[in-house]
Amino acid sequence: MRRKTIVGNWKMNGTHESLDEARAIASVAREYPGVDVAICPPFTLITAMATACPSMTIGGQDCHGAASGAFTGSVSAEMLRDAGASLVILGHSERREALGETSAIVQYKAMAALSAGLDVILCVGESLAVREGGRATDHVTQQVLQSLPDMAGHGHARLIIAYEPIWAIGTGRTAGLGDIAEMHGAIRRALGDAGRDVAILYGGSVNGDNAGAIMALDDVDGALVGGASLTADKFAPIITAAA
């Protein structure tokens, strides 16, 4: 059985003042024990948020693929765990596009994260040019297959896929329900037998108004939410829709 999973990606937003908002989100989440709710704040808030919200899953937004070493400015998967995170978002399009992260790099990071015992949210998604060129499904399933870590021997760490069309992120545009259903089905087929248990989240301008219809689709197991995850007011209706 795949559980509904709602993950807030705070991106580069939030200081210690935002912990009250996180506490309010955690208290909404406690009302819906059937939904897995997580927040991925900036690195600087992980420990404080894990302490302030012990009932909620806290994640990072990236990690390095190496365990330690001379990588100025980077944070390893083990460090995320040590800070209080239990999952990590990897391969977000804002990193693939702006920082040149390839699927091979994402796969390397995913292996490190699983080895450290972190659940992994693997992000994939096509640009508008790729969608308009009719190559979205090919592009996204290739991204999945090339970024996918080898799950063997990684205990109970979970793999989650997040499909986020790049043109839908932060733009107020969401993909059509038919396109979302088709893409999630294609991703699940690409995963083969193992895909049965993998939660596939949709992301890109998800809000309280559109979340219900999107999550009612067959292969949509939840949402990865940016802007609407920053306040309990906006995030709560999405958690409710999942329940």
Q: Does 83 bind ligand PGA (CB under 6 A)?
A: no
- State which of residues 201, 225, 232, 236 lies at the interface with ligand PGA (CB under 6 A): 225
How far is residue 144's CA from residue 231's CA, in Å, rounded to a whole number? 31
Told to judge if 184 belongs to the known catalytic residues of this protein, a careful annotator would answer: no
**Token pair for residue 231?**
């306040």
Q: Does 61 bind ligand PGA (CB under 6 A)?
A: no
Candidates 71-79, 108-116, 184-192, 224-232 — which segment interacts with ligand PGA by CB under 6 A? 224-232
- What's the CA angle centered on 24, arms 18 and 26, to 5 degrees? 105
How far is residue 159's CA from residue 120's CA, in Å, rounded to a whole number? 5
**Helices 103-115 + 136-147 axis angle, to 10:** 40
**Token pair for residue 22?**
């996180």
Closest-approach residue to ligand PGA (CB): 226
Q: Does 9 bind ligand PGA (CB under 6 A)?
A: yes
Task: Indicate the helix (H) or strand (E) that contains 88.
Answer: strand 87-90
Of 78 and 164, CB closest to ligand PGA: 164
* 94, 101, 126, 164: the active-site residue: 164
- State which of residues 163, 205, 238, 239 lies at the interface with ligand PGA (CB under 6 A): 205
Q: Does 170 bind ligand PGA (CB under 6 A)?
A: yes
Of 62 and 78, CB closest to ligand PGA: 62
Task: Indicate the helix (H) or strand (E) that contains 112.
Answer: helix 103-115
Q: Tell me the number of residues near ligand PGA by CB under 6 A.
A: 13
Q: Is 104 helix (H, G, I), strand (E, B) or coil?
A: helix
At a CB cut-off of 8 Å and minimum separation 6, what does 120 contact?
87, 88, 90, 110, 113, 114, 149, 157, 158, 159, 160
Which residue type sits at 76?
A: S
Q: Does 226 bind ligand PGA (CB under 6 A)?
A: yes
Told to judge if 21 belongs to the known catalytic residues of this protein, a careful annotator would answer: no
- State which of residues 164, 166, 180, 200 lies at the interface with ligand PGA (CB under 6 A): 164
Q: Does 5 bind ligand PGA (CB under 6 A)?
A: no
* 92, 94, 101, 154: the active-site residue: 92
Active site residues: 92, 164
Q: Where on the chain is the footprint of ligand PGA (CB under 6 A)?
A: 9, 164, 169-170, 203-206, 224-228
